[in-house]
Amino acid sequence: MTHTPPPPPAADEDKIVFHVTSNFGYRTQKPFVSITVQSKEFHVQMSPAAARALAMNLLQAAEAAETDAFLVGFFKSRIDMNERNIATILLDFRKQRDAARADG
């Protein structure tokens, strides 16, 4: 199950775009963070502000992945919910979490 937030704003061809998502592997039953780097070459130089923003994004994705894993485990063990229903609730939860983060 992959959580994909809205795509980042369009970037110039020369810019490097980092896209970080939180995930939960149903085969492994473990949370993970996926990082996609879109660039012609992989070499990064960024301002301290950009580095802090990337670090915050990584921390938020790590927290979200662990929360997703907790919720999946809770719904399976305590409520005996099937994976389809868990996926539906998890998607709703993620939308609410993303909205709350966007509101600050």
| pLDDT 10s digits, 32-51 | 877 778 766 655 667 778 88
Residue 10 in domain:
no
Residue 67 in domain:
yes
| pLDDT at position 75 | 93
Domain count, the chain: 1
Residue 12 in domain:
no
Residue 6 in domain:
no
Helices (H) and strands (E) in the chain, counts: 2, 2
Token couple for 88: 């539906």
Residue 68 in domain:
yes
Residue 81 structural domain:
17-103
For the cut 80, the answer to whether the pLDDT of residue 8 exceeds it is no
Q: Which has the minimum average pLDDT: 17-21, 48-52, 54-58?
A: 17-21
Residue 3 in domain:
no
Residue 8 in domain:
no
Q: Report yes or no: 57 and 20 within 8 Å, Cβ to Cβ.
A: yes
pTM: 0.63
* CA 101 – CA 49 distance, rounded (Å): 18
Residue 84 — very low, low, confident or very high, per pLDDT cuts 50/70/90? Answer: very high
Residue 11 in domain:
no
